[in-house]
Structure 1
């Protein structure tokens, strides 16, 4: 159940939906998350009222088709699985939304079990010891 935030420049609701599906499908395929673990914030930026800043980095050229994907999950996933996730998100973003893989910027933020509450003010992954 990783919360996902997707920010895209010059987009519409259909593209945002496609990007959300791409990330969710990639998480199911590479990390084994179930289909109903869907927690996403999808935001389109029009370049006027809100925008995204981007540049070229590490030899990768970005343009106004850029998409930022932020995923928060519990620590402990191996680097090989993370690389597979990055690759699959980029592939599916291109297939579903026409986004060039070079424009897909992904960050993972990991934390501990006690850093999660799914509601009711309870740390479900780290319940209080009695």
Structure 2
């Protein structure tokens, strides 16, 4: 299996890679899941999609992934032991941010509703400051969007809405 063009890149769910599949997807393991623990989390970590230019190093991708995760925890109070991220590596023509043609990152977070506007603004500022420092991305080349949803919109496995017990 081969990734083409704007295909999905590494899947990040942790801080250390466990193995690489034949199509180049890095598999990470981070959270030991206990079924009942999910229902007890007040602010479950968002699902984050991060899009970067193809050809970046593992250290570059890890820096972005780690900085975004730290910003979510520090500005919005999400749990430290949850992490749900997908990092897509895209060809330049598949990662279009207006007319920017230098290094750029576009990310989208999906989370349960209720975060106040000031927390989101702090998150945006923290992310661009952190990425400017490490790995060195111009703040003007970082786009962030957030979509909020409800408890019924999450299923972690088995086709069950874990946040909505019967």
TM bucket by the smaller chain?
0.7 to 0.9
Q: Which of these residues, 121, 127, 136, is aligned with residue 98 of structure 1?
A: 136
Other-structure match for 1:41: 86
Q: Residue in 2 aligned with 1:28?
A: 73
Gaps of 5+ in 1: 57-61
The yes-or-no answer on 1:51 pairing with 2:89 is no
Contact 1:16 1:43 in 2 (8 A): no
Give the Cα separation in 1 of the matches to 2:72 and 2:158. Answer: 26
Query: Deviation above 4 Å: which 4+ runs of structure 1?
Result: none
The size of the alignment, in residue pairs, is 121
Which residue matches 1:15? Answer: 60
Q: CA RMSD in A?
A: 1.6
What is the deviation of 1:124?
1.6
The Cα of 1:41 is off from its aligned counterpart by: 0.5
In structure 1, distance between residues paired with 2:69 and 2:128: 12
TM-score (ref. length: structure 2): 0.67
Cα deviation digits, residues 5-33 of structure 1 (max 9, x gap): 10012533221111101110000101111
Q: Which residue of 1 aligns with 2:47?
A: 3
Q: Does 1:85 align with 2:123?
A: yes
- Give the TM-score of the pair, scaled to structure 1: 0.84
What is the CA deviation profile of residues 70-129 of structure 1, one whole-angstrom value per residue up to 9, with x for unaligned ones?
10001111111110010111111112211111111000011111101122222121212x
